[in-house]
Every structure is written in C-alpha cells, then in structure tokens.
C-alpha cells in the first residue's frame, strides 16, 4: 500500500467505491486523513457504512464543510459529456479534484529512497491500442532480467495498492485517457505513447480532447525519456514537440512498418523483423515472427515500444530478446487458446473498436471471424480495407443483422449468440484457418465487459473441442 502523503489531519472525500476507490480510501487513511465517501450505488454505500466509513451525499453543498480534497474514480465523468453532480459541487465549494494517479505520483517517493543504491523509476504507457500488452511485456522483460518490478494502473491492481518501492525497482503503469486527463501530478521517468485512434469520444468531446488527455502525460509530466509511436500524425506531432532536434535521443520513435533510420534513436519493425537504430546505424535486430505471444504487426509495434523502454533502462539486446520469447501474452488480447486439426482459435475480445479489430484481422492469413456487439461511433467503414483475409464472418450481438450489413464483399452469417457463432465457425473451419474473436464493438449489449465476452468464447470453444 502506498500511503498518501501530506493529508494527515485533513478530511478527504472519495467519489466512487470500485477497485480504485476502495484502494484510495485505505491509502488515505494510512496517510492519516479522515475519509468521507459517496457512491451512486446503494449497495456500495451500504457496504461502506458496514465498514465504518462516513457516507456523505457529495452532490449536496452542505457535505463539503471541512473537506480539503475530492478524489474521484476514473470512470466518473468530470467534464464531458457533463460533470458528475458531486464534482460540480466540489468546484462550487472551491475543493480541488484529483484521482488516484495524481495521489500516487505525489506520494511514491519517500525518505527511504535516500538509502537506495539505485533510485526507483516509473514507466507509464498510454495510447488507444496496445497499452496493456506493452505494459505487461515491459514488466515481463524486467522480471525475466532480474529487475524488481510491479505492474498496475489500468491493468491488474490499483496504483495505490502497490507495495512501497524497493531499491532499483521499476513500476510499470498502464494509464487510460480517463486517468491522465484529471491527475494533478504526472511525473514518470519514461512515458510511452503507443498510437491513437478514435475512442471514448463522448468522454473527451471529440478526437482533439481525447488526444489532449493522452498528451498531458508528456506535456505536463516532462518524462526524462519519451517513447512515441509515430505511425499516426498525432504521434509524429508529439515527437516533434518533445524533441530539440535530430540529435535529441530523449525521444525514441517507434513504428510498425516504417523505417526510421534518420532519427537519433528509433526502434521499428518491418516484415516481422525488429531493428534498433542509434545515430544512423543499426545496433540490434530480432526476428519477431516466431514469438507466439506477439502475433501480427500491431503486436510488433508493442514489441518495439517495450524494447525501447527496456533499452532506455539499461537492459541488453540478448536479455530482452530472450524475455520476449517467453512472453505468454495477455488474456483477451491475441490470446491463442487452442488448436485442432490445423485450425487455431484466438481470443481478441479486447478488440473493442474498429482500429484494434483491423489490426487483429491483419495478423492472420485466413480467418473465420466472430464479430459484433454494441457498435461504437463512426461505423465500420474503416474496417472494409482489411477484410481480405476473412473467409466468413459470424456476427453476434443484439443488432447482429445491422452489423452484418456493414460488411460488404464477404459472407456474413447472423448468429446473435456466442454459442451459435462458435458452433458454426468450428463446423466450417478448415486446416490453416484461424477462428478469431475480434468484435470491433463494445460488449455491453450482451456482457458486463470484454473479459466476460472473451471468457464465454473460450468456454464455448473448449466445450466443443473437448
């Protein structure tokens, strides 16, 4: 547990009592604060009262007497499409609003670090797609190389649930736009930007606001080193903004598909090979094609970013390559779950938007594609150029028929349920093909989250394969 600093003797309000909210309460109490809480759910409030916490309706002006800070959970809107009433009330009362990420950055360093031989570091990873895989891969490389490491943030555990830093440790944080948008302190040592594609547009009032939320980690955080994916204009812009010129190696540019030989420091992948270039010459190369935990060009971009971080932390190429080869992959992200009769089964339920689904479709040669769900803003048009590898689509979701009509040039069967889709895909799949779940849509029309959807796919496949 990271005890929050500089809150002793103060009263702090916590809005939202999910995973991060509960951890925030404990960390504030450990730091000596008196905590009051509110959650829109009656069950969460009742549990808080049973735990001995003071529950206040923070939407009421009178609830702010004596409160010096509000800490809100990342899923609660603080500006768009409109601020939560409790946050608006905090503004009116003149109470600062922060989140657990801001508390972490102002509390992680302690006096104990004076006795360390090597100062701990924080690596942050943000972007639209690939940030979970990149974060987990960095953590895996560090662990395999014998470097103390913890992984938290938008993946795994809450940031304030981390253990206090050890000598030489590296903390790897996956951060969403919801987390970077509000945090009042952002001071990573190394920050990664993977890529940008339209997502969460209602929460950020459009693509510009979404990018601005990501950019805060670099513009306000001032990392010692920035690893920037430059396959989109937003990444190219940010790399240019952060760099002082061609010789500035504080910015490491990464790409999947583009040679970056002119940059002072770059890591890129082409045709399955990763190359690291520094000051105009190649210093390392790895064949990524046989690394089963990182299939496809999108995962090769993730590998480039993780490689760049590991190199910036002083790890050698051989150690990084060996660790990559043992990387098992993450559940629901290009997760190979079975193979039978020459047919592979891959769970990419995390492909909840068009861009991530397009990347998944480019990773395999011939695909029986399970797709569909709660369609996101913008439609499926950008997917059309990437349907060439699809032998057939099996569409799930409550609006499966409407989804299927947006897939021109391929056969699409309306299945509605996961059980029917898996049954039909298995019946028709041939050796050399891949049955791929990459929905290109949110899960909330049928499932609580993408994890539940992926678990259902895995269960249906295993039940039928025996």
- The strand pairing partners of 98, in sequence order, are 71
CA-based radius of gyration for the chain: 23
Per-residue pLDDT tens digits for 413-439: 999 999 999 999 999 999 999 999 999
* pLDDT given for residue 110 in this prediction: 95
Annotated binding-site residue numbers: 127-133
CB of 173 closer than 8 Å to CB of 135: yes
Angle separating helix axes 296-312 and 131-144, nearest 10 degrees: 50
Phi and psi, residue 260, nearest 5°: -125, 50
* pLDDT given for residue 217 in this prediction: 95
CB of 416 closer than 8 Å to CB of 397: yes
The parts of the chain modelled with pLDDT lower than 50 are none
Nearest-angstrom CA–CA distance, 440 and 202: 18
Nearest-angstrom CA–CA distance, 331 and 136: 11
* pLDDT given for residue 455 in this prediction: 97
Give how far the C-alpha of residue 33 lies from the chain's centroid of Cα atoms, to the nearest Å: 31
CB of 396 closer than 8 Å to CB of 372: yes
Cα torsion angle, 457, 458, 460, 465, sign: positive
Annotated binding-site residue numbers for ATP: 127-133
Nearest to 13 by CA among 81, 83, 91: 91
Angle separating helix axes 317-325 and 131-144, nearest 10 degrees: 120
Nearest-angstrom CA–CA distance, 282 and 289: 19
Nearest-angstrom CA–CA distance, 201 and 206: 5
CB of 346 closer than 8 Å to CB of 336: yes
DSSP string for residues in 376-399: PTT-SGGGGGG-TTEEEEEEESTT
* pLDDT given for residue 247 in this prediction: 84
Query: Which residue ranges form the domains of the chain, and what is each CATH number?
Result: 11-98 (3.40.50.720), 103-325 (3.40.1190.10), 335-465 (3.90.190.20)
Task: Give the number of residues written for the chain.
Answer: 466
Sheet hosting strand 251-256, strand order edge to edge = 149-153, 170-174, 121-126, 190-193, 225-229, 251-256, 265-270, 273-278, 281-287
Compute the C-alpha angle 430/432/438, nearest 5°.
85
Nearest-angstrom CA–CA distance, 290 and 429: 24
Nearest to 422 by CA among 362, 381, 369: 369
CB of 127 closer than 8 Å to CB of 112: no
Which DSSP helix (H) or strand (E) runs through 25? helix 19-30
**Cβ partners under 8 Å of residue 397, min gap 6:** 372, 373, 374, 403, 416, 439, 441, 445, 446
Nearest to 348 by CA among 75, 126, 130, 125: 130
Phi and psi, residue 105, nearest 5°: -65, -25
Compute the C-alpha angle 57/61/67, nearest 5°.
80
């Amino acid at each position: 547990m990271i005890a929050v600093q500089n809150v002793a003797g103060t009263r702090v309000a916590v809005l939202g009592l999910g995973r991060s909210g509960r951890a925030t309460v404990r960390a504030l109490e450990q730091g000596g604060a008196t905590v009051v809480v509110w959650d829109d759910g009656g069950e969460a409030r009742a549990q808080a009262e049973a735990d001995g916490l003071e529950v206040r309706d923070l939407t009421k002006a009178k609830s702010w007497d004596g409160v010096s800070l509000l800490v809100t959970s990342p899923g609660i809107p603080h500006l768009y499409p409109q601020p939560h009433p409790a946050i608006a009330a905090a503004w009116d009362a003149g109470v600062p609003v922060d989140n657990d990420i801001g508390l972490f950055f102002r509390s992680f360093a302690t006096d104990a670090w004076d006795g360390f031989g090597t100062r701990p570091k924080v690596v942050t990873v943000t972007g639209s797609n690939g940030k979970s895989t990149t974060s987990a891969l960095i953590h895996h490389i560090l662990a395999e190389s014998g470097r103390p490491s913890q992984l938290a943030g938008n993946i795994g555990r809450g940031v304030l649930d981390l253990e206090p830093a050890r000598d030489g440790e590296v903390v790897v944080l996956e951060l969403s736009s919801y987390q970077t948008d509000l945090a009042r302190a952002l001071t990573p040592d190394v920050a990664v930007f993977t890529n940008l594609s339209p997502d969460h547009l209602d929460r950020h009032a459009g693509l510009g606001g979404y990018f601005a939320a990501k950019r805060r980690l670099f513009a306000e955080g001032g990392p010692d080193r920035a690893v920037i994916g430059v396959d989109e204009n937003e990444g190219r812009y940010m790399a240019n903004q952060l760099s002082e010129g061609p010789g500035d190696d504080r910015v490491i540019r990464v790409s999947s598909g583009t040679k970056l030989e002119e940059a002072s420091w770059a890591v890129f992948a082409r045709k399955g090979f990763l190359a690291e270039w520094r000051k105009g010459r190649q210093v390392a190369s790895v064949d990524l094609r046989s690394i089963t935990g990182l299939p496809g060009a999108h995962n090769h971009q993730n590998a480039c970013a993780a490689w760049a971080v590991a190199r910036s932390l002083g790890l050698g190429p051989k150690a990084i390559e060996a660790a990559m080869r043992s990387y098992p992959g993450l559940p629901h992200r290009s997760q190979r779950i079975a193979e039978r009769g020459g047919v592979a089964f891959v769970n990419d339920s995390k492909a909840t938007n068009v861009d991530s689904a397009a990347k998944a479709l480019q990773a395999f040669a011939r695909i029986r594609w399970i797709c569909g769900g709660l369609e996101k803003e913008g439609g499926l048009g950008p997917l059309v150029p990437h349907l060439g590898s699809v032998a057939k689509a099996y569409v799930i979701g409550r609006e499966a028929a409407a989804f299927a009509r947006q897939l021109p040039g391929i056969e699409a069967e309306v299945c509605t349920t996961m059980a029917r889709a898996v049954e039909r895909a298995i019946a028709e799949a041939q050796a050399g093909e891949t049955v791929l779940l990459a929905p290109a849509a949110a899960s909330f029309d049928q499932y609580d989250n993408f994890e539940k959807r992926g678990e259902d796919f895995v269960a249906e496949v295993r039940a039928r394969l025996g």
